[in-house]
Structure 1
Amino acid sequence: MKEIKSHKRRGKLPKIEVVDLFCGIGGLSFGMKSKGFSILAGFDLDATCKYAYETNNEAKFNYKDIKEVHGIDINKYYSKKSIKVLAGCAPCQPFSSYAFKNKEKDPNKYDLLYEFGRLVKEVQPDIITMENVPSLLTFNEKDVFGDFVHTLKEAKYNVSYHVVYCPDYGIPQTRKRLVLLASRLGPIDLIKETCTPDNYKTVRDTIGNLPPLKAGEASSTDSLHRCCFLSEKNLQRIKATPAGGSWKDWPSELVLECHKRKSGKSFGSVYGRMRWDKPSPTMTTQCTGLGNGRFGHPDQDRAISVREAALLQTFPRSYAFFDNEDSISIGVASRYIGNAVPPRLGEVIAESIIQHIRNTPNER
């Protein structure tokens, strides 16, 4: 552990450098970069994320299986006098509520958090942040999260973790995420909430000024503002859905057979519309599909567009997702957005680290 003085830091902060594991297109990195952190590199097994990650974060994208990454591969990026941050969001599908219903689980993904723990021991960063789904806390097939926390504490890290309700931090969707912070410099915790229900950011605040679209259309001025085509039947269904409503509001002739069965009645949000003056539902990898959740536009007869999904995920309009955005795949774009850490959550994590460093006694 680094030797420290007894007085708190004053003035300019030391350089804070970040390597991002499971980086995807770089939402977490971008949020931290916007707070002045130096993003050095990302590692991910999806090679198609390279353009977005490198373009927006000015950092090296490494296409590599995390199981083949070693401490030396990461430590070569850090400089000697920096605060070294190791960040990561192991793919959450194995720990999501959907995974427990899905019989075709990928057993290899259950080990990714253990790989993260292995790299912590090899790299010995000053600070660690990990973001994942809240159900990781109650995952009972293996005590994966408990083992990860034990690994950190055994390596002399101070650890805190919270289930974050994203509207509390200015993110306009009802997403809940598990956020862990750990530091070898001293106690660390997440900053206090920045919003209350009285001033949560809403769907209207976020996408209310975008030009209207019809189902299947694309904006002539914004290549990402495009939405999926709807069949005639689905057009009838969305027209029969009030703001905040769902298939439960349809006449019987429009209701799908699967929803008439007892097992289908629990899926109350599918084919639903968002509400203007509430946060949106969680953006998923299928967030631009009408039948995949409450992803209908509040009053236009269509599902939300790629641009609307990106804004609800707090990506700025300037974020470059593709080299050529005139010929994007809506499905690929939705996967990028749904898998990403909201950049605003990356900012909150960065603000928490800055607060921690300022409250931590200085190094010699």
Structure 2
Amino acid sequence: MAESISTVDLFCGVGGLTYGFEQAGLTVKAGYDIDPACQFPYEYNTKAEFILKDVEHINGSDLAKHFSDSNVKVLAGCAPCQPFSSYSRRYIDKQSKWKLVQDFARLVQECEPEIVSMENVLQLKYHSVFYDFTQQLEYLHYSFDTYEVNCLDYGIPQTRKRLVLLASKFGKIDLIQPNHEIQKYRTVRETIGHLEPLLAGQASKTDRLHQCSKLSPLNLQRIRASKPGGTWRDWSKDLIAKCHTKNSGKTYSGVYGRMEWDQPSPTITTQCFGFGNGRFGHPEQDRAISLREAALLQTFPADYEFVAPNEPVIFARVGRFIGNAVPVKLGQVIAQSLLQHINKFI
């Protein structure tokens, strides 16, 4: 049945969702994104075509060409989540960013795929744009449901929670049951404990993505004073940043922290390579996690290439690639749920 199903991935980035779909056995014909830097990792690691195009300028006929030989059309995507995230609530122009979800809804109407899948941050469901999206699905006679997914329940080694919407012309789609109980949650040690040790600012000679950012002398002192799972409150007063001594900064206990070996990691963000940007300190080495370690925590395979051989590794760019990606295993979970559903009805 999987051979007669075709998927288009909107907002595809470097291919986390597409790769997960392919690992589950689904064919992804194309991924659309506006970032040209995503083309190499997307096409190198997946079998799909990368199309550099703003979703605003895509129409139903553009998508139809990818579905010409398919019995079942799947339109999937994760509109960039920053406008709905609590991390960026103060400085993102939400109204302009909401248009991405509105364009997703427009393409559903123009293309009417049998299956629609959307993944995003939990906060999206509290906004009118999400209500409007679901109203459009009802108008087009889709059955749909939304799921608050704890990624730990599906073998993803980080405390990441996501909103997954699944809609179908055939009937309700059930998300497959969790396959990891709390006592079997995957840990930081299981995921990155095998990688070679590094010093701050050092890069591996065998894997150039396994490199970590430099630390200033002050931050080197701070990480040496940090305990796994601890906070900056454990430091001596001379190491504490002035902003954290103010009432407004006292609640930010998760920054400048070390991960714990035998616990899952925190949510991997676009700034995960910086020690001061969250609990992104290595559990025992005096450095932030490397880009490869971040990618592994996002369940990308160890050989996933993010940068062309002739291009430099730019931390901000690769960090954005990794932090914005749909975890590969979550992509697999969604695809397995779709296959289970389609096989039930067709």
| TM-score w.r.t. length of structure 1 | 0.93
Question: Secondary structure of the residue that 1:327 maps to in structure 2?
Answer: coil
Question: Secondary structure of the residue that 1:237 maps to in structure 2?
Answer: helix
How far apart, CA to CA, are the structure 2 residues paired with 1:350 and 1:334?
25
In the TM superposition, 1:268-279 aligns within 5 A as 268-279=253-264
Q: Note if contact 1:15-1:37 (Cα within 8 Å) is conserved in structure 2.
A: no
Q: 1:80 Cα shift?
A: 3.4
Aligned length: 346
Bigger mean CA deviation after superposition, 306-315 or 80-89: 80-89
In the TM superposition, 1:74-89 aligns within 5 A as 74-89=63-78
Q: 1:326 Cα shift?
A: 7.2
1:68 corresponding residue in structure 2: 57
Instruction: Determine which structure has greater relative contact order: mean sequence separation of CA pairs < 8 Å that are 6+ residues apart, divided by chain length.
Output: 1
How far apart, CA to CA, are the structure 2 residues paired with 1:316 and 1:225?
13
Q: 1:13 Cα shift?
A: 4.6
Question: Cα–Cα, structure 1 residues 68 and 278, in superposed 2: closer, same or farther, change >3 Å?
Answer: same
Bigger mean CA deviation after superposition, 205-214 or 50-59: 50-59
Q: Which residue of 166, 171, 174 corresponds with 2:159?
A: 174
Q: Note if contact 1:172-1:206 (Cα within 8 Å) is conserved in structure 2.
A: yes
Q: 1:176 Cα shift?
A: 0.5
How far apart, CA to CA, are the structure 2 residues paired with 1:121 and 1:58?
27
Q: Which residue of 211, 232, 238 corresponds with 1:226?
A: 211
Give the CA RMSD over aligned residues: 1.2
Q: 1:107 Cα shift?
A: 2.9
Amino acid across the alignment from 2:139: E
1:7 corresponding residue in structure 2: none
In the TM superposition, 1:213-362 aligns within 5 A as 213-324=198-309, 327-360=312-345, 362=346
Question: Cα–Cα, structure 1 residues 104 and 194, in superposed 2: closer, same or farther, change >3 Å?
Answer: closer
2:37 corresponding residue in structure 1: 48
How far apart, CA to CA, are the structure 2 residues paired with 1:329 and 1:246?
28
How far apart, CA to CA, are the structure 2 residues paired with 1:337 and 1:182?
27
Question: Secondary structure of the residue that 1:193 maps to in structure 2?
Answer: coil
2:131 corresponding residue in structure 1: 146
Q: 1:320 Cα shift?
A: 1.5
How far apart, CA to CA, are the structure 2 residues paired with 1:93 and 1:325?
31
Structure 1: unaligned runs, 5 residues or longer: 1-11
Q: Note if contact 1:71-1:122 (Cα within 8 Å) is conserved in structure 2.
A: yes
Q: Note if contact 1:170-1:344 (Cα within 8 Å) is conserved in structure 2.
A: yes
How far apart, CA to CA, are the structure 1 residues paired with 2:140 and 2:274?
44
Question: Secondary structure of the residue that 1:34 maps to in structure 2?
Answer: helix
Question: Secondary structure of the residue that 2:338 maps to in structure 1?
Answer: helix
Q: 1:126 Cα shift?
A: 0.9
| TM-score w.r.t. length of structure 2 | 0.97
- 2:101 maps to 1:113: yes
- 2:196 maps to 1:198: no
Amino acid across the alignment from 1:154: Y
How far apart, CA to CA, are the structure 2 residues paired with 1:356 and 1:62?
29
Amino acid across the alignment from 1:76: K
How far apart, CA to CA, are the structure 2 residues paired with 1:215 and 1:294?
16
Q: 1:105 Cα shift?
A: 2.2
Question: Secondary structure of the residue that 1:159 maps to in structure 2?
Answer: strand
Bigger mean CA deviation after superposition, 197-206 or 75-84: 75-84
How far apart, CA to CA, are the structure 2 residues paired with 1:218 and 1:145?
42
Q: 1:173 Cα shift?
A: 0.3
